[in-house]
Amino acid sequence: MDSLRRDSVDPAARDADRLAELFPMVVTEVIGADGRATRAIDFDQLRRRLGDYVVEGERERYRLDWPGKRRAQREAREPASGTLRPVRSESVNFDTTGNLFIEGDNLDVLRLLQEPYLGRIKLIYIDPPYNTGNDFIYDDDFSQTRAGYLTGSGQVGAGGVPLVANPEWGGRFHSNWLTMMYPRLALARNLLADDGVIFISIDDHEIDNLKKIGTEIFGEQNFVAQIIWQKVYAPKNSARWFSEDHDYILVFARNRERWQPRPLARTEAMEARYRNPDDDPRGPWKAENMSARNRYDAGVYPITTPSGRVIDGPPRGSYWRISRQRFDELDADGRIWWGADGDNVPAVKRFLSEVAAGRTPQTLWPYDEVGHTQDAKRALLRYVPFGNTANVLNSVKPVELVRRILQLAGDPGDGDIVLDFFSGSGTTAHAVLEQNLADGGNRRFIGVQIPEPLPVAEAGLASIFEIGLTRVRNVAAEIRARHPGAALDLGFRVLRWDTSGLADARVPPDTLDQAGLAAQTDRIRPGRTGEDLLLQVQLDWGLDPATPITVATADGREILVAGELVACFAATISPGVVRAVAERRPRWAVFRDSAFAGDADRINAGQVFAEVSPATDVKVL
């Protein structure tokens, strides 16, 4: 039985695999730092293979650069080494829910999610810091000091001596923000399904930079739209220059050829435009102009109305949109409207029963359709009983706005996973619950938030993360009370980022004495429960950490079952426990390494699985 690896797969190794698949001739071997031969990519060979398509060195090229970009790219490639620990006491319906709230730095968490959710996320919506310096709870001002920017950008040397004649320091307000956003977006892209999409809220401060790094990460060909959201219902008379009435939402697809927005439902006002003044048996219809400005040579001909009036042709500078033959066919079928007295310029009847069921989404979203900032704050105050006004977030988004995004992103019943790794007050999770209630959907949410402390600590409400938990608990309770028979997942499983549950076994031999050698027989850190270890195994093996967990016993030992994974982390195990696990014929089985008295017991356990469940992959911690 092999030991379970401690670290997640290196993203750089995954990229090397892709290169090896495309260009097998560039794969070679080198001697690594540990003295062992390891696979590598021969970049010289790759350069020769690509020929004139390679650009490097001082050659000019189009790109966005800033001090810290190399660090940002390096952070996007670093593997995860921590884990997530379940917190039952703060969860709702822990054993059955598919929803997750994760407390931790989103960069650490995104690295951990690479294995279980690679290519599985249908929708990502994030509302990151806008880098305005105005938000008093989020660390929303990533500007550097002037000295720090000049040093980092190579414009000054040791002792602050200028290296350029006219140093530029305006970019210091953007570099740290870009360095923060870049690796998170790069990791997020890996999680998107091939037909997945990401929506990102932003304002004028960083819209240009966000679009540039989004284009670099997702590809210019996968940019979908730049939406304008009217965020206020009245102008700000206190504005010094212009009242800023809107924010933006950038939309990038993982593969634009695979994703399209779903049509929106028609509004009552739209349907009211269809009437039936002539009692047509085909139902309500709307008259559409028959002329257009685009040149159409077959669209120039005279028309005689039923009243006998001759219309010489279309209005000056325009053309009939249909040919004479098609016009006669429509008229014979009663699809031309001449007016009540038969003397009007003809119009084509468009029947409601024949138009598409929905409407094409537009890039202008008015507040009367998707809410405004005051709606957002009212919703937050309704579900979170703040004791201190200083703790009320000012940058929340309305639930209606996120529900609009959910409506566009995918089909309600596809079991889509919705990720928000700047989850803040839990607006996205709130919207998922309400939208599932409205359309019978079965979407799942994953919210990630760092435990940012509030300005004034309150009982049960010490951080932004706890604001989100409180809000969604109360939203779920309200839905449950109003719709007791609704078959909805109204729970969530709380997970918390922590260091690995396994101590580092890579100890230099010259520092290891007899006592230290004995300690190496059990690598599990003190205080870790069976569920802690189970979740770490799920993450390392790329299994969904939201998989329902059931508990069984054998010979008095706890056996944890999560889908096709069965684990027993008891301090000691008997042959009966091993056989009980094997008889479940799981795809994966995990035991505590120190639970086996010796190598003979490990060999016997392997023989039991070979006999009872030979397809099971058996590991030890």
Rounded to 10°, the helix 207-218/172-191 angle is: 40
Q: Contact at 8 Å (CB) between 244 and 204?
A: yes
Is position 587 within any domain?
A: yes
- What does the pLDDT look like over 455-489, one tens digit per residue? 888 887 889 999 999 999 999 999 999 999 889 99
Range(s) of the domain holding residue 292: 268-356
Separation between Cα atoms, residue 360 and residue 362, nearest integer Å: 6
Three-state SS for 341? coil
Separation between Cα atoms, residue 191 and residue 87, nearest integer Å: 24
**Does residue 227 register a pLDDT over 50?**
yes
Separation between Cα atoms, residue 61 and residue 73, nearest integer Å: 18
Q: Please give the mean pLDDT across all residues of the chain.
A: 87
Is position 40 within any domain?
A: yes
Is position 35 within any domain?
A: yes
Domain count, the chain: 3
DSSP per-residue string spanning 34-100: TS-EEEEE-HHHHHHHHGGG---TT--------TTHHHHHHHHHPPP--EEEE-GGG-BSTTT---E
Give every CB contact of residue 448 below 8 A, 6+ residues apart in sequence. 102, 104, 106, 109, 110, 419, 420, 421, 422, 423
- What does the pLDDT look like over 38-65, one tens digit per residue? 888 888 888 888 887 888 887 888 888 9
- What does the pLDDT look like over 293-335, one tens digit per residue? 888 999 999 999 999 999 999 999 999 999 999 999 999 999 9
Domain termination residue (choose one: 327, 356, 385): 356
Is position 408 within any domain?
A: no
Q: What secondary structure letter does DSSP report for 492?
A: B
Q: How many CB atoms lie within 10 A of CB 51?
A: 7
Is position 463 within any domain?
A: no
Q: What percent of the chain has pLDDT over 90?
A: 65
Kind and range of the H or E element at 310? Answer: strand 310-311
- Span of 444-458, 497-511, 596-610 with lowest mean pLDDT: 497-511
Three-state SS for 552? strand
Cα torsion for 464, 410, 180, 167, to the nearest 10°? -130
Domain termination residue (choose one: 324, 356, 388): 356
Domain termination residue (choose one: 297, 323, 356): 356
Separation between Cα atoms, residue 335 and residue 278, nearest integer Å: 11
